[in-house]
C-alpha cells in the first residue's frame, strides 16, 4: 500500500504522482512516437484507426460512464463530425481550423439532442438516441446536396502549412496528437467541478440537485461535450476512410462504441482507451486467427459478430468493471505483492431498485 | 380506384404491417413487465426462428404448419434457456447491465445465424403466399389477413392466459412485486423463464409471418426497432397499448410513404418515437409516476 503525503496543492494536482507511473507513461509515449519508424505499413494504419476509435470512445465515456446517460446512437455524432469536416474543407477552411470547428458542430448537435435528456432518462433516453441515430443515418443518405447521398463523398486532403498530411505516417501523428489533447482535456474536466457534477448526477440525481448542482444544465452539457469529442473522432475518421458513405455510420458503429465503453469499464477514461484498443483490434485479430482455423470454420460469415457478443457477455457477467477494473486488480496485486487478497474486490450483492410504481 | 378505396387499401396494408409490429411489441412487453428487462435480443430470436422455419420446410421437408410449430418450439426453448442460463445471473444488477447483456446475446444469435445459414436471403412459402382476396372493393393479400388473424389470436390467447390461469395471475403478481409474489409461493425464477419462453414463441410466430413479406435474412431482426416505437407509443408496460401502438405505427408508416416526401416512410416510426417521448416522457398510455429516490 502507498499513502500520499501532499505538502502543497501542486502535489495534489499533478497528473502523474509517482515515479513508476511517470516511467511507464514516458515509455509508452516513446513507444508510440517511435512506432511508425519500425512498424510495417499495415499496422501504422491500424494504429491510427485505433486512436480514432479511442477518441470516439472517450466521447461516449463522458456521457455514459461519467454522467450515467446511455446513448445507443453515438454514430450520429460521428456522422455529423465527418460530414461537417468534409463541408468545411470544401468551403476552403484549413485543416487545423476545420477539425475543431467540425467537433464544435457535432457538439452543438449534441446539445440539441441533450435537451430531451432533461425530460427523458434511462431506457427511454437510450431509445431516443437510438432513434436519432437511425434518423440521421437515413437523412445522410437522402440529403444528396450536402452529403453526396448513398454514392458517398470524397474527403479532401488534409493539409497542414501546405503539406499533405493525409499520408500514413503523418496522419498517425495527427491522430495521436488529437487523442492526447482530448485525453488531457477530459482528464482535467473530470477532475474539476464539472466532472464531479457529472458523477454526482450519475450516482443520484436527487442528491446532486440537493447539493445545488444544476442537473438539467449539466446533463445537456455532458451531451454537448461528449458529442464534440465523438465528432472530432468522426472528422478524423473521414480522413482515414477518405471516401465517406452513409453505411460507415450505421447502428453497428453505435453498438461498437457502446461495446468499447462497457468492455473498457464504465466511469474511467483509461477504460475507454483500453476498450477501444481491444474492440478496435478484435476484427484484425479474428481475421488473423481465421488463417489458423480449418477452412470450414474460417469461411464462416458472422464469426466476428458472434465473438463481439461473446466478449461483451463475458465482461457483463464476469467483470462488470471492465478492463480498467482488471487493470486495477492487477496493479494492486503487484503493489501489495505477497499480501494481495482476492476478497478486496469482491462485490457485495447489488439490489437495483425497481423503476416501477409501487 | 376512388380516393376512398385508396385510403381503405392503405389502411388495410398499414394494419397488416402494424399487426406484425404489434406482435413483436407484445413479446417485448411481456418480458419487460415480468423482469423489467427490455430484450434487445428479441429481434434476433425472431430472425433465427424465421430461419428455422425455412430450414424445416426446405431441408426437412416439413409442411408449413409443422415447420411453424417447430420454429415456435425451438424459439421458446431457446428463450427459456437464455433466461435460465444467462439473464438470471445478473438479476438485481443495474438495468444497464441487463440491457448490455441482451445486446450481447443479440450479437451472438446474429453471429450464429450468420454462421449456420450464411448471408444469402431465402424465401419462405406459406399457404397464403401469392393469393389475394377482395374485401369490399379492396384487394388484400391473404398473408396480410393471416397476419391480422394471428395477431388477434395471440392477443386473445394472452388475454385469457393472463386473466384466468394460475400462470397468468402469477405473472401479474410478479410483475407488480417480485418479492411479495415470491413470499406468496410463486416460483418467480421459473415464472420469469416461462415468460421468456412465451415471448420467444411470440417472436417465432411473428418471424414466420414476417418472412413471407420480407425475405428470410439476417437483417430481419431490425423489425424490433419499429416495435420499440410501437412500445413507446403504447406506453411502455401495457399490453393493449402495445397492440394499439403497433397498429398505429403500421398505419403511420403506410400513410407517410404516400403523403410525405421520399425517405420519410423508413424513419417515420423513429420520428414518432422521438416526438412521443419528448412530449410524453413516460409514453402515451404509460403509467405516469415519478421515480422514488
Give me the CATH number covering residue B78.
1.10.3470
The tens-digit pLDDT sequence of chain A (358 residues) is: 567 788 888 887 888 878 888 898 999 999 988 888 888 888 888 899 999 999 999 999 999 989 988 889 899 999 999 999 988 988 888 888 889 999 999 999 999 888 887 888 778 888 889 999 988 888 888 877 777 777 777 777 777 776 777 778 888 898 999 999 999 999 999 888 899 999 999 888 888 999 999 999 999 999 999 999 999 999 999 988 888 888 888 888 999 999 999 999 888 899 999 999 999 888 888 888 777 776 666 566 778 888 889 999 999 888 888 888 888 888 888 877 777 777 777 766 656 555 554 3
Domain count, chain B: 1
Q: Please report which residue ranges of B214-285 form alpha helices under DSSP H.
A: 223-233, 239-259, 264-279
Is residue B174 in some structural domain? yes
Angle made by CA atoms B118, B124, B126, in degrees to the nearest 5: 165
What is the nearest CA distance from A117 to chain B, expressed in angstroms? Answer: 9
What is the nearest CA distance from A260 to chain B, expressed in angstroms? Answer: 12
Grade residue B291 by pLDDT with cuts at 50, 70 and 90.
very low
The predicted pLDDT at position A354 comes to 59
**DSSP tag of A63:** I
Interchain contact, A306 vs B114, CB within 8 Å: yes
| Among chain B residues, CA nearest to A312 | B104
Task: Tell me which chain B residues have a C-beta less than 8 angstroms from the C-beta of A353.
Answer: 292
- Using DSSP, state whether A244 is helix, strand or coil: strand
Is residue B150 in some structural domain? yes
Q: Mean pLDDT score of chain B, rounded to an integer?
A: 84
What is the nearest CA distance from A302 to chain B, expressed in angstroms? Answer: 4
Do A250 and A75 contact (CB within 8 A), yes or no? yes
Is the ipTM higher than 0.85? The answer is yes
Interchain contact, B115 vs A301, CB within 8 Å: yes
Above 50 in pLDDT, residue B289?
A: no
Is residue B286 in some structural domain? no
Is residue B285 in some structural domain? no
Do B251 and B14 contact (CB within 8 A), yes or no? yes
Do A258 and A27 contact (CB within 8 A), yes or no? no
Rounded to whole angstroms, the Cα distance separating A61 from B197 reads 35
Above 80 in pLDDT, residue B288?
A: no
Task: Tell me which chain A residues have a C-beta less than 8 angstroms from the C-beta of B177.
Answer: 358
Residue of B36, B111, B274 lying closest to A303 (CB–CB): B111
Domain with B65 in it: 3-279
Dihedral over Cα of B89, B94, B95, B101: its sign: negative
Task: Tell me which chain B residues have a C-beta less than 8 angstroms from the C-beta of A304.
Answer: 111
Residue B204 grid cell: 417465432
Residue B91 grid cell: 438479476
Query: Smallest Cα–Cα separation from A172: which of A308, A50, A318?
Result: A50
Interchain contact, B86 vs A132, CB within 8 Å: no
Contacts of B134 by beta carbon, 8 Å cutoff, 6+ apart: B140
Rounded to whole angstroms, the Cα distance separating A85 from A82 reads 5
Task: Tell me which chain B residues have a C-beta less than 8 angstroms from the C-beta of A300.
Answer: 114-115
Q: How many CB pairs under 8 A join A and B?
A: 149
What is the nearest CA distance from B4 to chain A, expressed in angstroms? Answer: 31
Interchain contact, A124 vs B90, CB within 8 Å: no
Residue of B36, B90, B112 lying closest to A316 (CB–CB): B90
pLDDT digits (tens, 9 = 90+) for B60-82: 888 888 888 999 999 999 999 99
Do B256 and B53 contact (CB within 8 A), yes or no? no
What is the nearest CA distance from B282 to chain A, expressed in angstroms? Answer: 8
Residue of A142, A303, A350 lying closest to B92 (CB–CB): A350
Rounded to whole angstroms, the Cα distance separating A233 from A269 reads 15
Q: Please report which residue ranges of chain A form alpha helices under DSSP H.
A: 9-13, 19-38, 41-60, 75-90, 95-119, 123-142, 144-147, 168-191, 193-203, 205-210, 215-241, 251-264, 269-292, 295-298, 303-318, 322-335
Residue of B36, B104, B113 lying closest to A313 (CB–CB): B104
Task: Tell me which chain A residues have a C-beta less than 8 angstroms from the C-beta of B232.
Answer: 124, 127
Is residue B287 in some structural domain? no
Residue of A305, A320, A351 lying closest to B110 (CB–CB): A305
Amino acid at each position: 500500500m502507498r499513502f500520499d503525503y501532499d505538502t502543497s496543492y501542486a502535489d495534489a494536482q499533478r497528473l502523474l504522482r509517482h515515479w513508476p507511473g511517470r516511467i511507464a507513461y514516458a515509455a509508452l509515449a516513446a513507444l508510440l512516437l517511435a512506432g511508425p519508424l519500425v512498424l510495417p505499413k499495415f499496422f501504422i494504419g491500424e494504429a491510427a484507426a485505433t486512436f480514432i476509435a479511442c477518441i470516439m470512445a472517450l466521447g461516449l465515456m463522458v456521457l455514459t460512464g461519467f454522467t450515467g446517460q446511455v446513448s445507443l446512437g453515438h454514430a450520429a455524432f460521428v456522422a455529423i463530425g465527418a460530414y461537417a469536416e468534409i463541408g468545411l474543407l470544401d468551403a476552403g477552411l484549413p485543416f487545423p481550423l476545420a477539425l475543431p470547428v467540425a467537433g464544435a458542430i457535432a457538439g452543438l448537435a449534441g446539445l440539441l439532442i441533450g435537451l430531451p435528456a432533461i425530460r427523458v432518462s434511462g431506457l427511454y433516453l437510450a431509445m431516443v438516441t437510438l432513434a436519432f441515430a437511425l434518423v440521421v443515418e437515413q437523412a445522410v443518405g437522402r440529403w444528396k446536396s450536402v452529403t453526396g447521398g448513398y454514392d458517398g463523398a470524397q474527403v479532401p486532403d488534409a493539409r497542414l502549412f501546405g503539406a499533405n498530411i493525409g499520408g500514413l505516417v503523418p496522419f498517425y501523428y495527427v491522430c495521436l496528437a488529437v487523442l492526447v489533447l482530448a485525453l488531457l482535456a477530459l482528464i482535467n474536466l473530470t477532475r474539476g467541478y464539472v466532472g464531479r457534477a457529472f458523477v454526482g448526477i450519475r450516482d443520484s440525481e436527487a442528491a446532486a440537485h440537493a447539493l445545488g448542482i444544476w442537473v438539467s444544465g449539466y446533463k445537456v452539457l455532458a451531451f454537448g461535450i461528449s458529442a464534440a469529442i465523438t465528432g472530432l473522432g468522426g472528422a478524423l475518421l473521414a480522413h482515414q476512410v477518405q471516401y465517406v458513405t452513409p453505411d460507415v455510420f450505421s447502428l453497428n458503429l453505435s453498438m461498437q462504441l457502446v461495446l468499447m465503453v462497457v468492455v473498457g469499464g464504465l466511469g474511467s477514461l483509461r477504460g475507454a482507451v483500453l476498450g477501444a484498443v481491444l474492440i478496435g483490434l478484435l476484427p484484425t485479430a479474428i481475421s488473423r486467427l481465421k488463417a489458423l482455423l480449418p477452412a470450414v470454420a474460417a469461411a464462416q460469415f458472422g464469426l466476428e459478430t458472434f465473438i463481439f457478443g461473446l466478449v461483451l457477455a463475458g465482461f457483463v457477467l464476469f467483470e462488470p468493471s471492465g478492463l480498467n477494473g482488471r487493470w486495477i486488480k492487477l496493479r494492486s496485486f503487484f503493489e501489495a505483492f505477497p499480501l494481495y487478497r482476492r476478497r478486496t474486490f469482491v462485490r457485495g450483492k447489488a439490489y437495483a431498485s425497481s423503476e416501477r410504481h409501487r | 380506384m376512388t380516393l376512398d378505396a385508396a385510403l381503405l387499401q392503405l389502411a388495410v396494408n398499414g394494419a397488416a404491417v402494424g399487426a406484425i409490429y404489434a406482435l413483436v411489441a407484445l413479446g417485448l412487453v411481456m418480458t419487460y413487465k415480468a423482469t423489467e428487462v427490455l430484450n434487445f435480443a428479441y429481434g434476433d430470436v425472431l430472425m433465427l426462428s424465421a430461419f428455422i422455419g425455412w430450414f424445416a420446410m426446405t431441408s426437412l421437408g416439413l409442411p408449413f404448419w409443422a415447420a411453424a410449430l417447430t420454429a415456435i418450439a425451438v424459439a421458446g426453448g431457446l428463450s427459456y434457456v437464455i433466461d435460465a442460463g444467462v439473464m438470471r445471473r445478473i438479476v438485481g444488477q443495474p438495468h444497464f447491465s441487463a440491457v448490455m447483456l441482451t445486446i450481447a446475446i443479440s450479437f451472438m444469435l446474429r453471429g450464429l445465424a450468420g454462421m449456420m445459414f450464411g448471408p444469402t436471403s431465402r424465401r419462405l412459402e406459406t399457404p397464403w403466399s401469392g393469393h389475394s382476396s377482395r374485401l369490399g372493393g379492396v384487394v388484400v393479400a391473404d398473408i396480410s389477413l393471416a397476419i391480422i388473424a394471428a395477431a388477434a389470436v395471440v392477443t386473445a390467447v394472452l388475454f385469457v392466459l393472463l386473466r384466468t390461469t394460475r400462470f397468468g395471475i402469477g405473472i401479474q403478481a410478479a410483475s407488480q412485486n417480485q418479492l411479495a409474489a415470491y413470499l406468496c409461493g410463486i416460483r418467480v425464477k421459473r415464472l420469469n423463464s416461462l415468460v421468456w419462453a412465451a415471448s420467444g414463441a411470440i417472436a417465432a410466430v411473428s418471424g414466420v409471418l414476417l418472412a413471407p413479406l420480407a425475405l428470410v435474412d439476417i437483417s430481419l431482426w431490425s423489425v424490433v426497432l419499429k416495435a420499440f416505437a410501437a412500445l413507446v407509443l403504447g406506453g411502455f408496460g401495457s399490453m393493449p397499448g402495445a397492440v394499439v401502438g403497433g397498429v398505429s405505427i403500421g398505419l403511420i408508416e403506410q400513410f407517410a410513404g404516400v403523403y410525405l416526401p421520399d425517405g420519410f416512410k423508413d424513419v417515420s416510426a423513429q420520428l414518432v418515437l422521438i416526438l412521443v417521448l419528448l412530449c410524453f416522457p413516460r409514453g402515451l398510455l404509460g403509467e405516469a409516476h415519478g421515480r422514488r429516490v
